[in-house]
Amino acid sequence: MIVELLIALSVGAGLFGVGLYGALSQTNLVMIVMGVELILAAALVNLVAFWRYLHPDEPAGQMFVLIVMAVMAVEMAVAFGIAIARFRVRGSVEMEEARELKG
Amino acid sequence: MTLAGAREGAMSGIRRAVAAAMARDLSAFVLPGPSVARAMGLDLAGSHLRVVGTPRHANVLILVGPLPDGLRDAAAVTYAQMPRPRAILTLGAGDIAPLPDADVSAPPTRAGLRSGLADLRRVIAAGAFRTDSGEFTAPALEVRVEYTCPMHPEIIRDAPGDCPKCGMTLVPRETASDGHGGHGGHDMPQEDRPSPAEHAHAGQAEDAGGAGAYTCPMHPEVISDAPGKCPKCGMFLVKAEEGESHGHGHRHGHGGHGHGHGSEAHGAHGAHGAHGHGDHGGHGKQQDHSGHDGHDGHDGHAGHGGHSKAAIDGIEPHFMSMVELTEGQPRSSDGLQMDWIEVPFGPFFPGLPAGLRLTLTLDGDTVAGSEARSLVGRAELVDGPQMTAGDFVGRLAAMMPLGPVAYRTLACAAIEEASRADPGQDARRGRAAAVERERIASHLGWLAEFGLQSGFLWLAARARALQLAVQGADIDGIAAQAGAIRALIRRVETAPLMRMRLGRIARIGKDAPASGPVDRARGVGSDARAGDPTLIALGFEMCVREGGDALARLRLRCDEIAQSLDLIAAAGRIAVPEVPDVETVSGEGAATIETPRGAARLRVKLTDGKVVEAELDTPSDVNIALVETVTAQRELGDALAAVASLDLSPWEVRG
Amino acid sequence: MTVQMIFLAFFGGAAVWFGVVVFRTHSMVRSALALLFSQTAIGAMFLVMQAEFLGVLQIMMMATEMSVMAIFMVMFMMDPGGMGKMDMTHQKRLSLWAGGIGLLAALLLVWLPDWSPVALSVPGAHEQAADLGRELLGRSMFIFQSAGLTILTAMIAATMVAIVPNAEQGK
Amino acid sequence: MSILVVLLSLAAGAYALAVIERWAVHGHLSLTGPAWAALALLGRESLLARKSDRLFFELGPVLLLVAGLMAVAVIPLAPGLIITDLATGALFLNAALAYVLVALIMAGWGPNGAYAMIAGWRFLGQFIAYAMLIVMPITAVAMRAESLSTVEIVTSQEQLWNVLYQPMGFILFVVAAMGLAWLPPLDLPDATGELAGGVEAEYTGVRLAVLRLARMVIILALAGATVTFYLGGWLGPWLPPWAWSAIKILAVAAAMLSIGRYMPRIREARYLALSWKLGISLALANIFVVGVIALVVPI
């Protein structure tokens, strides 16, 4: 059973790495959101793996997964809200062109 | 028997069964349109075949009546879009070039339709597959690859080479000949496509950096020699790239927005891009960049000159600015500028009058701009130097397949006016009733089209059946159908969702010029019948509805159907007018008749009993100008319903 | 080699591979749908790990979320069809390093500790769903309700940010 | 074994539905018509639109079919006659049908045609309208059954069918289901008069046949879901359970197919506004009422 756990956690690590690369390298807000989604998905995989292989009798583990899913949805909603507002003002959601937000 | 559009393959075994199935299951695409077929009294949908809305789903192309010249190219594209095996059935169409010869021809009558379909089934069952099936080609289908300079769109060459103005390598671009059937792109496998975004990339190698050393990231026109704040927005100016000084506008390689929907959409993009590239002054550095594709390999700012906006410090040189791309585009109603695509609808679009070409510029699914054009075009009324009265009347009636009786009556009335002849009271009543009968049929036809467009299929089927029953019916026939027609009208008035579908769309103000039911559905309006003593004696009163929207038009048409039933009953006889005997009379005369679509006015000049001059004003001429108003900033479905609510006849529109 | 192991590795590999495709394809719709398939594969992993409710939920939620993502990609990208093969990345080297280091660190954390003992059996799916329900509406009710409220707030806030201000609407 | 039986009855149901559709849409009843039509369709050329996104173009219809089949998998036709009785069956049905949206977006984007693309994105808008109205009535159904398993949902209705227990939920669910299956008057994505076939516009031959089959399967799945959730599934006197399932599913499917004939297509914005302003409020009220009844009156 330990091998399954390691496989699942490694998949989580892989998703985290890919998501981090994406979130940092993309210039478009929507693509960055995609990277963040991947990172959160990595967290999901880990949470489910921990629940399944370490504490299967504890439903709180599953509840955590629900909360992370909610966070994913919220993150997307907020990001797209900002994207629309920004696009309306500026006609662009490219990060390179959002330097004035840098302070 | 062979089928011109057979599919490649030997006719054997299971293919025989498939061919038999195809013969049984005919899916027809009708040119110019089912409405024309119905106006000619042909019941296609009731003939055990399915009338489909796109040539992709059809295996039979049915041509009804003569094919107008303006529709020939579009017909060729439509035929090319049909999957093989495909067949052509013509009903009184005559010459149909550039389409291949008809597989079956029949006269445009109900009996002709029956025998034609029977023949067609035999032909398909026998020859759906053939080992030597040929390709179909027509001039309208040729995709031409032309070469253009990304910087100078006015330079278009047939062969690759360098731009004579700037020396850049010309890039290929596909263009199709005009006259597409409105179903973007035909089906020729073609792998390497010229990408519009490559144009944009190259296009960005446009002018060198900024003028001054510092510029505002928001307002590129603000240029300063010293660091500081932008006078417009107060932002800190950023360092601009060194470069030769020339004022640059906002050029944007618009082509980057490549959905690329069909070659026409490409063309539209090209047009958008064109004004982006419009003017630009001399730029001497261009030669250095000739022929570079993409921007890989450029590792520094020096000598890059690649961005139409002054490169902002810190932005990597290959970066393509989205601000620039979206900058020059017009704003839409919701403030979000989307990629605009120009989508052609028609001339054979199922929800629009046949022969009407509607080009909508779509911003998302909102209509940002529209252009309506009749591809049918009205020819000269008088063919040659002069015509006999009989020929003239026949010609005018044949020119208007959607309202032949009304125009026949109009022509007779105008000639009588010119020759000072009087047909007599009985004839007048008969004529009036004939026009009213056509009004009922026409409005029912409109209801059928509306039902089809809006998915109200019960209405479409019922109105279609009643229209065919009314057409050409005598006074007793009309009386027999009156009950059913009135029931249909009641049903339409009370149908659920009707108000939601049509209410408050396509509203027309009281001052815009309009004709016919469109005019009378906005509270004011005029009716040529109001000045006709014959009709007043029959009890005519002008129908008027308040509202001016598509719903009011629907209801007004229903009112008029009911009223026309009354008028026909009061008239007591129906008589299509005879051509008046004018002998050798000379003179001028004009007549106005309220056709189903509105008032048409004809002025004729007779010399020695021959028609030498004629001038016609039609309601669709007036109403087609309303298309732009009723579609502006509407959702696509609403815009199409709005255009349909005008009940245009492309045959009436001046070419 | 258990069946579970094979399926887990298969869906895990698919998830990571689709994750990579997200940033490697040029067509934006493909990019969004690759992310969708990555998330669906993760949902399938949940199913393999016998978390039936979560797996089904993940598969359902992501289908809709990523479709919405796709339309935003098309709206806000210069080259949604990916025909221009435009480069829309920046600080590539930094990102690669960061991604690589993150991956290695995570892998180290995964492989170094001793995770045993590992539980062998899980409650049945019916029981799980019921337990989760009781958990949500019992002990964790407060957290759960806060999450719900947060979503509602975020929805309203995002809508408020996105709609046209009234003052501008008239123009 | 039961898988085979379900799949065979699915095929028979799809055929019966095709007969009903031809009768509802084209007005003539022909028992052999769909067979000829299918055969004719298979014999036609399968064209590939120029400049298409080949992957999506090919995958769209297949994914649609797969989504429909997955949804059918959790619909019980009789006690024991179900492909898989998942503990989360009602949720799984939703998950499977969510891919209808993905498939239509693929099919709309793939062929590189304006009509199809608009149709695909339109369906996304339509999805926003119906999505909540699919899930929320199911919540109320599951509340009564105290389970998400479709079999238990059916057995929970032994005393009283849900259509009488929660009529509001039934209406909302049927309307949403018609939106999901893009049936008239909610057929915005393939409106013939507006988009010349929409997502179907560029498909020909075999691909079109798959697309149409998938649509039939989806309609059957939704009719099956309606029957399972609200009309007591296989429950009924005199006849054997499978017969009741078949009769109810076909009747519901026929009703959903033909109701759109009698009214014009609804406008997209109106559908969205109605679903969110009216539909969701009613669905919440429905959940509340069902909760109260479940606690107070044990039926």
Res B154: pLDDT? 60
- Closest chain B residue to A27, measured at CA: B319
Provide the pLDDT for residue B422: 79
D15-25 confidence digits (pLDDT tens) = 888 888 877 77
pLDDT given at position D230: 92
pLDDT of residue C165: 62
Q: Given pLDDT bands bounded at 50, 70 and 90, which one contains residue B215?
A: low
DSSP 8-state code for residue B547 = S
- Residue-range domains of chain B with CATH: 7-137 (3.40.50.12280), 142-208+246-296+308-329 (no CATH), 387-652 (1.10.645.10)
Tens digit of each residue's pLDDT (9 = 90 or more) over B191-202: 333 333 333 333
pLDDT, tens digit (0-9, with 9 covering 90-100), for D231-274: 988 888 888 888 888 899 989 998 988 888 888 888 878 888 88
Q: Mean pLDDT over all residues of chain D? A: 85
Mean pLDDT of chain C: 81
Exposed, middle or buried, C91 (CB in 10 Å: 0-12/13-18/19+)?
middle
Residue C87 with chain B: CB contacts under 8 Å = 295, 318, 320
Flag if B53 and D208 touch (Cβ within 8 Å). no
Query: How high is the pLDDT of residue D137?
Result: 93
CA distances from B137 to B98, B412, C2 (A): 9, 44, 60
Q: What is the pLDDT of residue B146?
A: 65
Residues B323-371: tens digit of each pLDDT? 555 555 555 555 566 667 778 887 888 888 888 888 888 777 778 788 8
Question: How far away is chain B from the Cα of D281, in angstroms, using its nearest Cα?
Answer: 21
> Rounded mean pLDDT of B408-426?
83
**Across the interface, which of B235, B326, B335 has its CB nearest the CB of A100?**
B235
Kindly report the average pLDDT of chain B as a whole number: 71
Chain C: touching chains (3 or more CB pairs < 8 Å) = A, B, D
Most confident of the following: A27-36, B98-107, B435-444, B565-574 = B435-444
Share of chain B above pLDDT 90, in %: 0
Query: What's the Cα-to-Cα distance from D142 to each of D89, D173, D226, D284, rounded to whole Å?
Result: 10, 14, 13, 14
Instruction: Choose, out of B322, B329, B334, B363, the residue to mutate when testing the contact with A (most A CBs < 10 Å).
Output: B322
Q: So what's the pLDDT on residue B180?
A: 36
**Which chain B residue has the Cα nearest residue D205?**
B83
How much is the pLDDT for B315? 45
Give the pLDDT of residue B190.
Answer: 33
Residue contact D87–C53, C-beta within 8 A: yes
Chain B, residues 216-275, CB within 8 A of chain A, namely 217-218, 235, 238
Q: What is the ipTM of this complex?
A: 0.81
User: For chain B, which residues lie within 8 Å of any Cβ of chain C, measuring from their own Cβ?
Assistant: 193, 195-198, 200-201, 256-260, 294-295, 316, 318-320, 322, 325, 334-336, 338-339
Q: Please check the confidence at residue B302 and state whether its pLDDT lies above 60.
A: no
In this prediction, residue B256 carries a pLDDT of: 30
| A92 and A29 Cβ atoms separated by less than 8 Å | no
Within 10 A of D53 (CB to CB), how many other CB atoms are there? 20
The minimum CA-CA distance between D52 and chain B, rounded to whole Å, is 9
CA–CA dist D193, D180 (Å, integer): 20
CA-CA-CA-CA torsion for B482, B486, B489, B490, nearest 10 degrees? Answer: -170
> What's the gap in Å between the CA of C102 and the closest CA on chain D?
32
The predicted-structure confidence for C33-48, as pLDDT tens digits, reads as follows: 889 999 999 999 998 8
The band of B599, judged by pLDDT with boundaries at 50, 70 and 90, is confident
- Tens digit of pLDDT for each residue in B247-258? 332 323 333 333
Least confident of B309-313, B491-495, D206-210: B309-313
In angstroms, the CA C160 to CA B116 distance is: 63
Residue type, C46: F
Q: What kind and span of H or E run contains B262?
A: helix B262-277
Chain D contact partners (≥3 CB pairs within 8 A): B, C
Nearest Cβ partner for A16 among C46, C49, C103: C103
Residues 6+ apart with CB under 8 A from B218: A100, B230, B232, B233, B235
CB-CB under 8 Å, B337 with A94: no
By C-alpha distance, the chain D residue nearest B8 is D45
The ranges assigned to domains in chain D are: 2-296
**D11 contact B CB<8A:** no
D87 → closest Cβ in C29, C30, C126: C126
Residue B272 has pLDDT above 60, yes or no: no
Q: Is B161 on the interface with D (CB under 8 A)?
A: no
Phi, psi of D87 (to 5 degrees): -65, -25
Mean pLDDT of the region B18-40: 84
**The pLDDT value given to residue A101:** 60
- Nearest Cα of chain B lies from the Cα of A21 at a distance, in angstroms, of 18
Q: Which residues of D touch B53 (CB under 8 A)?
A: 192-193, 196-197
Q: Cα–Cα distances in Å, from D193 out to B367, B512, C76, D213?
A: 17, 28, 30, 22
Question: B164-173, B180-189, B499-508, C11-20: lowest mean pLDDT where?
Answer: B180-189
Mutate to test the interface with D, among B12, B334, B365, B493 (most CBs of D within 10 A): B365
Q: What is the extent of the structural domain holding A23?
A: 2-102
8 Å CB contact of A100 and B218: yes
Separation between Cα atoms, residue B37 and residue B569, nearest integer Å:
27
Least-confidence region, from B296-300, B422-426, C160-164:
B296-300
Q: How far is C73 from chain D (nearest CA, A)?
A: 12
Q: Which residues of C touch B173 (CB under 8 A)?
A: none
Q: Is the pLDDT of residue B308 over 70?
A: no
Is A62 in the C-facing interface, judged by CB distances under 8 Å?
yes
Q: Does A86 touch chain C (CB under 8 A)?
A: no
Please identify which residue in the block is written with the tokens 């973007």: B184
The CATH number linked to A13 is 1.10.287.3510
Residue D225's pLDDT band (cuts 50, 70, 90):
very high
Q: Contact B25/D185, CB-based, under 8 Å?
A: no
Q: Going by DSSP bridges, is the β-strand pair B214-215/B238-239 parallel, antiparallel, or unpaired?
A: antiparallel
Flag if A65 and C54 touch (Cβ within 8 Å): yes
Are B183 and D50 within 8 A, CB to CB?
no
Whether B54 shows a pLDDT value over 50: the answer reads yes
Residues of chain A contacting C109 with CB distance shorter than 8 Å: 13
- With cut-offs at 50, 70 and 90, classify the pLDDT of residue D287: very high
Is there a contact between D49 and B183 if contact means CB atoms under 8 Å apart?
no
Distance from CA of B240 to the nearest CA of A (A): 15
Confidence of residue D50 (pLDDT cuts 50, 70, 90): low
D156, pLDDT greater than 80: yes
Count of domains forming chain A: 1
- Is pLDDT at B601 greater than 50 in this prediction? yes
Q: How many CB atoms lie within 10 A of CB B504?
A: 14
pLDDT at B310: 36
- Chain B residues within an 8 Å CB radius of A94: 321-323
Determine the pLDDT at residue B207. Answer: 31
B424-451 pLDDT, tens per residue? Answer: 888 888 888 888 888 899 999 999 888 8
**pLDDT score of B269:** 30
Chain B, 254 to 313: residues with Cβ < 8 Å from chain D are 259-262, 265
Global pTM reads 0.80
User: Distance between alpha carbon C48 and the CA centroid of its chain, in Å?
Assistant: 17
Residue B430 C-alpha, separation from nearest chain C C-alpha, in angstroms? 55
Residues of D (251-270) whose Cβ lies below 8 Å from B:
260-270
